[in-house]
Structure 1
Amino acid sequence: MAAGKFSFTGSGGLRVSSGGRTLAAAGDVIVIGDRVFRLAEVDRVAYHAAARPHQASYALGLASGPVRSRFVFDAFGRGGELDDARETWRRLVELVESAACPRIAGAAADAITAGATARFGGRPRIDADAEGLRRCRWFTGKVPWAGVLGTDLHAGQVRVWTGGPEPGLVTGMAGWNAVVLPRVVGIMVGREKESPGKH
């Protein structure tokens, strides 16, 4: 381990210390400082990573109603710290992706289908409603669900592909629920194909 900055337990738990703060994860609970987040109750997530030779930076954000927190930790290429940080990050993302993201995506898709607007990412934000997706700017067009060909996460961005050589919509992974957008798109595109009159 890297001088106590990262520690793993035999039960799959982990602990990270950075900048005088601590993140601890065990089971379906993540504690950031003095804030406790049960992943079954979390309604917003954000995570992203940036790596350079001999240096990496990771950030995780969790929110439940008005309570929210972000945790950032860095690693440098000495004494195995980069390897410990990478493993810690992998476990955190797997935990959030399995215990929170599917439920958040399902709830967002249900709300969209019922007529609400869901928001993903920060600047530029992407809004989704029953008709499709649009960049949150004045006078921008909407991409209908039938026009969405796919989504991916790449280089810190969430990209929505609509057929051109460049993605039709892009938002940063660091914004709230941006990383959930690909799941929501998958659900909504599937519903679009299954709806009457769409065959």
Structure 2
Amino acid sequence: MNESAVSGEIRMRSGRRELVASGEVISIGDREFRLTEVTRVMYRAAVRANQASYTVGLARGDQRCTFMFDAYRRGTELEDAREAWTRLVALLEATTCPRIAARLVRTIVTGGTVPFGGSPSARIDANAEGLCPHRPFAKTVPWSQITGADTSNGQVRVWTVANGAVTRKPKMALDMFGWNAVVLPRVVAAFAAR
């Protein structure tokens, strides 16, 4: 992986593929995604002492693309990769994630159901009633019992209240590798404990 930043541009290479983020466009190989048109996003980092592995995915309708790159402790490679990754995530968080969350909130308010995650990670469905893990016989947790959601150690966690106190363990968890999982905390914030 190599990375360069010139005038705000983020450029990363993994093997023969290249990711270039410039302005309102991210290109992965020969696919181009305008950030204003992206409908699904995912990102995830796995960091160890001497190695880091990063993944970002963008989708618009049926077109989707995932970019993965690794960094190792050679010179400044780990630090350079972390800095590039942080800038890329900040770009998505500032431009794409708020817009996607607003669209998903509108879908829920108008009676629709919205999935977060999916194969290979778990899935959580959101609707006007609350959140429901996507598995047989799972029950919907009402919005009135949900206090919030956060991200930690590669997971999105959903917190609830029981007997007047926030639970000590998350009620649901979802791997950040799933589509729009990273957007779930914003959607939960719009509905939690109303």
**TM norm. shorter chain > 0.5:** yes
**Is residue 48 from structure 1 mapped to residue 44 from structure 2 by the alignment?**
yes
Instruction: Please tell me whether the aligned partners of residues 28 and 95 of structure 1 are also in contact (alpha carbons under 8 angstroms).
Output: no
**Residue among 3, 7, 12 paired with 2:4:** 7
The aligned residue for residue 139 of structure 2 is 141
The aligned residue for residue 157 of structure 1 is 155
The aligned residue for residue 74 of structure 1 is 70
**Secondary structure of the residue that 2:41 maps to in structure 1?**
strand
**Secondary structure of the residue that 2:53 maps to in structure 1?**
strand
- For structure 1, the residue ranges without an aligned partner over 5 or more in a row are 194-199
| Aligned-residue offset at 1:54 | 1.3
| Aligned-residue offset at 1:100 | 0.3
**Residue among 115, 122, 125 paired with 1:124:** 122
Show CA shifts across 1:146-170 (max 9, x none).
1111111011000001132211011
Which letter does structure 2 place at the counterpart of 1:172? D
Measure, in 2, the Cα distance between the counterparts of 1:82 and 1:146.
Answer: 43
- For structure 2, the residue ranges without an aligned partner over 5 or more in a row are 162-166
Show CA shifts across 1:113-163 (max 9, x none).
101000001232000000000000111111111111111101100000113
| Aligned-residue offset at 1:82 | 0.4
Structure 1 stretches of 4+ with a deviation exceeding 4 A read none
Instruction: Please tell me whether the aligned partners of residues 122 and 178 of structure 2 are also in contact (alpha carbons under 8 angstroms).
Output: no
**Residue among 159, 169, 174 paired with 1:171:** 174
Measure, in 2, the Cα distance between the counterparts of 1:19 and 1:147.
Answer: 47
Please identify which structure carries the higher strand content. Answer: 2
Measure, in 1, the Cα distance between the counterparts of 2:72 and 2:136.
Answer: 42
Measure, in 2, the Cα distance between the counterparts of 1:143 and 1:81.
Answer: 44
Matched length: 187
Instruction: Please tell me whether the aligned partners of residues 40 and 59 of structure 2 are also in contact (alpha carbons under 8 angstroms).
Output: yes
The aligned residue for residue 87 of structure 1 is 83
Instruction: Please tell me whether the aligned partners of residues 58 and 89 of structure 1 are also in contact (alpha carbons under 8 angstroms).
Output: yes
Which letter does structure 1 place at the counterpart of 2:25? V
Instruction: Please tell me whether the aligned partners of residues 148 and 160 of structure 1 are also in contact (alpha carbons under 8 angstroms).
Output: yes
TM-score (norm 2): 0.94
Which letter does structure 2 place at the counterpart of 1:140? A
The aligned residue for residue 164 of structure 2 is none
- Aligned-CA RMSD value: 1.1
**Residue among 41, 60, 63 paired with 1:64:** 60
Instruction: Please tell me whether the aligned partners of residues 23 and 33 of structure 1 are also in contact (alpha carbons under 8 angstroms).
Output: yes
The aligned residue for residue 24 of structure 1 is 20
TM-score (norm 1): 0.91
Measure, in 2, the Cα distance between the counterparts of 1:91 and 1:147.
Answer: 35
